[in-house]
Structure 1
Amino acid sequence: MADWEEFNKVLGDELLDIPPPGPLHTPLEIDIAASTLTKALQNTIEKTIKEQKPLPQAKRWWNSQLEELRKAKNKLSTESYCLRALENHLDISTADIWTAHRYIKEPPMDGGRPRIPTLRTNDRNSREREVTDNTDKAETFAKAFFPPPPAESSVPEDYDYPELLPDPPDITEDQIRQNILKLSPYKVPGPDGIPNIVLQKSYDKIAKHLPHLFQGILQLNMYYEPWKEFTTVVLRKPGKPSYEM
């Protein structure tokens, strides 16, 4: 588990090298602001968070949160058994605890090999073929998840668009905070290697930089190029009878 107090201390030192936040008026200013903030977070992650190599028999989806939930479940199970004779004793009802229990009871997974089975799909000539190679599987999933756009637009050429809406108000720190807190903390990070939990735990340190950054992106109708890239992880869920495409 990360020491977030130490993380934010180191991040604060990294942010001292970044120009003070202010309005951004050009794409170059946005690129510089986004890249320097990203680099500060990456440097802090590298300095303070140690990578853990899971054991070959370990479940790859297991994390410290599930470990804490497992301990809480076991403790409450013991208390519930000891107090089972009391008529008004409250039953265990925390959904997350039972979710952890379900994970624990799942059959052990092989952490060293991919679990996506052979896929069946059609080639360009509509002939069925089997996909067994990992690279081919990734390409097959990519085509299924992100099909090409249609050859012709479904919007009529002379479509009468409604009147434009007024410009939205400036983006606030509170809006950004609310959306960051809604993120799933342990989703797979993108190519920049910054997981959501880092943004949530370090928000107070980076908060002053974000409104100017997103406001500039909105006003200039552009986006920081590296943020257009993301990582998709395909996981085989238990109980799925077929993965034919």
Structure 2
Amino acid sequence: MFAQSGGQADLSNIEPTTQSLPPTFDRITREDIRKNIEFLPLKKALGPDMIPNELIKILKNTIDYSLENFFNSFLKLGHFPKSLKTATTVIIQNAKKADYVDPSAYQPKALPNTIRKLFE
């Protein structure tokens, strides 16, 4: 079962592996960012960055260039900032449950950063 000390192990039944390259991503363009901004819903609860979707929509032509550089730096460096990984979790009552003493009458809802939603 194990190779003996000083002997060679029989590797004939092991297939060689191929090294895969890390994924490559196309650059994110300002047009991509503007399209994502259009899909942001209005009048939604705020995440930890406290940036309302309405503000992003108003400023889209002002911030698109900065967001383009910001997001492409994530791809270039292969790093997503920890501060954007945070979310605020709130507990919502399930309207279909009559007994609010029952823990299953509640559900958690994660509210991510607005900037993160644009990147995803």
How would you bin the TM-score normalised by the shorter chain? 0.5 to 0.7
Alignment pair present for 1:205 and 2:62: yes
- Partners of 1:186 and 1:235 lie apart in 2 by 17
Normalized per residue, the structure richer in strand is 2
Sort the Cα spacing of 1:224 and 1:187 in 2 relative to 1 into closer, same or farther, 3 A.
same
Corresponding position of 1:229: 86
2:62 alignment partner, SS class: helix
Corresponding position of 1:182: 39
TM-score when normalising by structure 1: 0.31
Q: Which runs of 5+ in 1 are unaligned?
A: 1-159
CA contact (8 A) 1:217 1:223 kept: yes
Corresponding position of 2:72: 215
CA contact (8 A) 1:171 1:211 kept: yes
Q: Which runs of 5+ in 2 are unaligned?
A: 1-16, 105-120
**Aligned-partner residue type, residue 244 of structure 1:** P
- Partners of 1:199 and 1:162 lie apart in 2 by 42
Structure 1 residue 230 displacement after superposition: 1.4
Percent identical: 30
Count of residue pairs brought into register by the alignment? 86
TM-score when normalising by structure 2: 0.58
Corresponding position of 2:103: 244
Structure 1 residue 195 displacement after superposition: 1.4
Corresponding position of 2:30: 173
- Partners of 2:45 and 2:33 lie apart in 1 by 20
Sort the Cα spacing of 1:214 and 1:161 in 2 relative to 1 into closer, same or farther, 3 A.
farther
